[in-house]
């Protein structure tokens, strides 16, 4: 599933294609993806203009000139593609926006959502109720925002007996982190994924917070991580996969000490770590 860097990459690519532009037409190919889509979605979008784009956790939010928000979640296999010419839609192309030129410059562009497994979702709702939205309410701070720090991790991890790896995946504690970047951040912080979250205090919490920020920023610069389904809206892959230190590298040498990378299953998900560096 796309994590914060992949979603941020999509948002940044969508900004010139959508921001300040009007929707000439919208295509909705089915009534549902993971959940039912909003009724009359195509009609409600046609003629509207996108004023700005933002990201919250793993969601892209596109604000419209009528006070509504178009929310996009890519799910497990969803991807966005931007076309200069009208594309021939395939079986798994479920949603398309035909966008007017920006300030009468350039040509019409087309934004297409492809989602073979249909675990993604689109919603359209009033921006005034965004904080109460069922997917956004209670979400923790952005790890690249001013509210995030080692002190924050220490506070939200306090008293938790579960593993720090699982705590990092809890979107109510920290927004946007998934399996890939939790494993990578723990490696660079020299913390075992087995360690209890409540034991992450002081300098250990500071190291982990710094590692999270560093890893996420590096991944955004590289366009995210392409493992199975993620491609950038222009068709490029995410090159951070070439810089992964532990994720997906079981049995391969640790980039620091050459000890073979190990893996274990935590809450049904694979964790990758170096038993020596993260002892």
The Cα 82–Cα 39 span in angstroms is: 25
Structure tokens at 154: 């220490």
Please answer whether residues 67 and 126 qualify as being in contact, where contact means their C-beta atoms are separated by less than 8 angstroms: yes
List the alpha helices (DSSP H) in the chain: 4-18, 41-45, 150-157, 164-168, 179-188, 202-221
Residue spans of beta strands (DSSP E) within the chain: 23-28, 50-56, 59-64, 68-73, 79-83, 93-99, 109-114, 121-126, 262-266, 269-273
Structure tokens at 57: 């956790």
Structure tokens at 72: 């996009």
Number of H helices, E strands in the chain: 6, 10
- Give, to the nearest 10 degrees, the angle between helix 179-188 and helix 202-221: 130
The Cα 123–Cα 257 span in angstroms is: 47
- Give, to the nearest 10 degrees, the angle between helix 202-221 and helix 150-157: 120
Catalytic residues: 2-3, 58, 269
């Amino acid at each position: 599933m796309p994590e914060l860097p992949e979603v941020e990459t999509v948002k940044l690519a969508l900004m010139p294609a959508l921001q300040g532009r009007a929707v000439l037409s919208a295509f909705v190919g089915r009534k549902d993806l993971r959940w039912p889509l909003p009724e009359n979605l195509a009609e409600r979008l046609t003629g509207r203009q996108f004023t700005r784009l933002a990201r919250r956790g793993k969601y892209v939010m596109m604000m419209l000139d009528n006070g509504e928000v178009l929310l996009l979640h890519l799910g497990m296999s969803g991807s966005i593609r931007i076309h200069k010419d009208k594309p021939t839609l395939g079986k798994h192309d479920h949603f398309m926006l035909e966008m007017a030129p920006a300030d009468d410059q350039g040509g019409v562009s087309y934004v297409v959502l492809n989602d073979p497994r249909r675990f993604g979702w689109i919603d359209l709702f009033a921006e005034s109720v965004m904080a109460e939205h069922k997917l956004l309410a209670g979400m923790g701070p952005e790890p690249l925002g001013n509210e995030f720090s080692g002190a924050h991790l220490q506070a939200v991890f306090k008293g938790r007996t579960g593993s720090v790896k699982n705590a990092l995946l809890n979107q109510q504690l920290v927004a946007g982190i998934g399996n890939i970047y939790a494993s990578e951040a723990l490696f660079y912080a020299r913390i075992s994924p087995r360690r209890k979250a409540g034991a992450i205090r002081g300098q250990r919490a500071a190291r982990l917070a710094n590692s999270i920020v560093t890893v996420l920023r590096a991944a955004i610069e590289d366009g995210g991580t392409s493992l199975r389904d993620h491609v950038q809206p222009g068709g490029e892959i995410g090159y951070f996969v070439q810089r992964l230190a532990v994720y997906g590298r079981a049995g391969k040498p640790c980039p620091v000490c050459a000890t073979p990378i190990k893996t274990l299953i935590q809450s049904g998900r694979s964790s990758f770590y170096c038993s020596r560096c993260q002892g």
